[in-house]
């Protein structure tokens, strides 16, 4: 206990001490044997609630167990580098929730459940760094809206997770999972492979059972890609279902937070807790799904019989092993009664240039609004770029800030070029993209491989992104759900389910039926290496 307490205190200060700055070199560490006898390994929310109800465990006991496991696997052992900071009040909060339970007050399914959140989401009293040394001592004075909802639901915020610095929107050749605060997060299935980004730490932590569930954020792929490459369920909600208040932004058009979990059921329970209308994020006013919607209840309402699925076969070209795994997944769904027909998104890729223009234009005003409202130590993009230049050896030892520089030159949200690009991108991905593909069946859902096999971490060349099946959903602002579908050489692969706006319940229902049919998730083995490298042509990975 004394060692754990001392380490917790040190971790809470890590973001403000030079000793915690990571070595820019990221060689693969040796992989010591991991005796995985963790009492709560792979246990989900419902079973933990049942154990607490029977008095077999408590929220305080869960917090202690997960803290000890973080020490064993994240700082010692395989050194996953998934957790940046721990909540110094976690034990106290857990004990208070145990007292409420003893008094007969239960807040809901998340009562007493330890949750990790990405370090671009405000949660007092912890730092919000976005992975950057420029915000190393920045402690916002209030919680993000979704964190308030989590706490109201009874969750214990266990700590903050590492991420690709500035959510992978700093450089055109970044290394996913690396930040100047947290160093290189490592894939627990093979420590020399990328965890993908930018919600790398959340994905790795949940996959390695460092918390029950986690929250990530996505602009384009930053929930789905790391979830798929770390054997998780990841849900990117419709933009507007979950408030972005108190989250370091990239794009007002595409940003959203969402669940990263080991099961579809846990994703549904976590989504119900964080979804809701927020006056500080006006886009949530368009939310057509009630904030009290019981997403988990929907899981029990059906199976795959008669479900019409549109297979985006052109996405199978990511790699032969991905194509083979997808065909097996489709075969299993057909055997279970689903109707699967090949289809395509007619506008595939036509939004790429416009999407980049939208992100570059929206980044500066959104970021500066957040920094100024939060009274951060740097308040403008220009000041941030200057900080990076002055501290280049620590902040930019591996890659630069080309995207920051491009964003600094954009004319602003009133620019006719930006307005036209935003309209074209949303139309191409949405009405003329996903919506058109769904109508062509008609289909209940579209499916594709989420992405390819995790590539080797390469701090010199950056990411070797293999491609994806989720891009249209990101640009359209539509929901997408990735579910584990198998492995290639022990590295996880995911299957993505996409639908129209506000179709989360449908995606969860179909994804749950598929998950229960295949049971494809396997816990990580913490190998040092998976062998021969794989990867694509160096496209930028997920934001």
Identify the CA nearest to 407 among candidates 464, 452, 368, 371: 368
Could you give the CA distance from residue 485 to residue 473 in angstroms, rounded to a whole number?
20
| CA trace torsion 329, 332, 334, 336 (10° rounding) | -140
- Please report which helix (H) or strand (E) contains residue 97, including its range: helix 90-102
Q: Which parts of 307-395 are beta strand (E)?
A: 308-312, 339-343
First and final CA of the chain: distance in angstroms?
39
Furthest-apart CA atoms within the chain: distance in Å: 63
- Assess whether 118 carries a catalytic annotation: yes
Could you give the CA distance from residue 351 to residue 254 in angstroms, rounded to a whole number?
13
- Please report which helix (H) or strand (E) contains residue 19, including its range: none
In this structure, what token pair is assigned to residue 236?
């990117």
In this structure, what token pair is assigned to residue 424?
């074209």
In this structure, what token pair is assigned to residue 271?
């989504």
Could you give the CA distance from residue 279 to residue 70 in angstroms, rounded to a whole number?
36
Cα angle 198-201-202, degrees, rounded to a multiple of 5: 95
Identify the CA nearest to 258 among candidates 236, 280, 227, 230: 236
Residue 110 CB neighbour total at 10 angstroms: 28
From the list 31, 118, 129, 252, the catalytic residue is: 118
Could you give the CA distance from residue 111 to residue 274 in angstroms, rounded to a whole number?
14
In this structure, what token pair is assigned to residue 350?
């036509």
From the list 31, 179, 198, 503, the catalytic residue is: 198
Q: Give the contacts of 155 (CB within 8 A, at least 6 positions apart).
A: 110, 111, 112, 113, 114, 115, 273
- Assess whether 148 carries a catalytic annotation: no
Phi/psi of residue 301, each to 5°? -100, 5
Evaluate whether 482 touches 470 at the Cβ level (below 8 Å): yes
Identify the CA nearest to 44 among candidates 349, 264, 274: 264
For residue 82, give Cα distances in angstroms to 162, 210, 282. 5, 9, 32
In this structure, what token pair is assigned to residue 238?
């419709």
Evaluate whether 211 touches 73 at the Cβ level (below 8 Å): no
From the list 222, 252, 488, 503, the catalytic residue is: 222
Backbone φ/ψ region at 275: left (φ over 0), alpha (ψ -120 to 50), beta: beta
Q: Is the dihedral of CA 8, 14, 17, 20 positive or negative?
A: positive
Could you give the CA distance from residue 90 to residue 96 in angstroms, rounded to a whole number?
10
- Catalytic site positions: 118, 198, 222
């Amino acid at each position: 206990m004394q060692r754990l307490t001392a380490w917790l205190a040190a971790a809470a200060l890590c973001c403000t001490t030079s000793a915690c700055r990571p070595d820019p070199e990221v060689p693969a560490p040796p992989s010591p044997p991991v005796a995985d006898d963790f009492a709560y390994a792979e246990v989900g929310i419902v079973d933990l609630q049942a154990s607490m109800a029977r008095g077999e465990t408590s929220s305080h006991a869960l917090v202690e167990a997960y803290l000890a496991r973080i020490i064993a696997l994240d700082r010692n052992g395989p050194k996953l580098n998934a957790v940046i900071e721990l909540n110094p009040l976690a034990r106290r909060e857990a004990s208070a929730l145990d007292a409420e339970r003893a008094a007969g007050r239960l807040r809901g399914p998340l009562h007493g459940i330890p949750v990790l959140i990405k370090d671009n989401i405000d949660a007092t009293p912890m730092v919000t760094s976005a992975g950057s040394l420029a915000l190393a001592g920045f402690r916002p004075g209030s919680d993000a809206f979704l964190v308030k909802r989590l706490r109201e639901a009874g969750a214990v915020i266990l700590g903050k997770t590492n991420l690709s610095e500035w959510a992978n929107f700093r450089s055109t050749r970044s290394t996913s999972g690396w930040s100047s605060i947290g160093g290189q997060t490592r894939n627990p299935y093979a420590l020399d492979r990328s965890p993908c980004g930018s919600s790398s730490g959340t994905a790795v932590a949940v996959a390695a059972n460092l918390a029950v569930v986690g929250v990530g954020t996505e602009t384009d792929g930053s929930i789905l890609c790391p979830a798929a490459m770390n054997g998780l369920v990841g849900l990117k909600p419709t933009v507007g279902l979950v408030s972005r208040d108190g989250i370091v932004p990239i794009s007002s058009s595409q940003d959203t937070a969402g669940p990263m979990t080991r099961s579809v059921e846990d994703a549904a329970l976590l989504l119900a807790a964080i979804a809701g209308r927020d006056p500080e994020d006006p886009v949530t006013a368009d939310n057509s799904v009630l904030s009290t919607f019981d997403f988990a209840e929907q899981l029990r309402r059906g199976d795959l019989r008669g479900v019409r699925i549109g297979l985006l076969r052109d996405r199978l070209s990511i790699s032969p092993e991905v194509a083979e795994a997808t065909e097996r997944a489709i075969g299993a769904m057909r055997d279970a009664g689903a109707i699967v027909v090949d289809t395509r998104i007619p506008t595939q890729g036509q939004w790429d240039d416009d999407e980049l223009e939208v992100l570059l234009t929206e980044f500066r005003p959104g970021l500066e609004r957040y920094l100024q409202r939060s009274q951060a130590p740097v308040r403008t993009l220009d000041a941030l770029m200057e900080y990076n230049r002055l501290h280049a050896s620590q902040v930019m030892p591996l890659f630069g800030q080309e995207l920051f520089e491009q964003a600094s030159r954009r004319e602003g949200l009133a620019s006719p070029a930006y307005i036209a690009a935003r309209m074209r991108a949303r139309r191409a991905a949405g009405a003329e993209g996903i919506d058109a593909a769904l109508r062509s069946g008609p289909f209940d859902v579209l499916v594709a491989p989420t992405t390819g096999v995790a590539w080797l971490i390469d701090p010199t060349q950056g990411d070797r992104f293999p491609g994806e099946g989720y891009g249209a959903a990101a640009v359209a602002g539509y929901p997408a759900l990735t579910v584990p579908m198998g492995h290639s050489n022990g590295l996880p692969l995911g299957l993505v389910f996409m639908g129209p706006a506000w179709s989360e319940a449908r995606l969860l229902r179909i994804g749950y039926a598929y998950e229960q049919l295949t049971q494809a998730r396997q816990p990580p083995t913490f190998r040092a290496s998976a062998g021969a490298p794989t990867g694509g042509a160096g496209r930028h990975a997920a934001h």
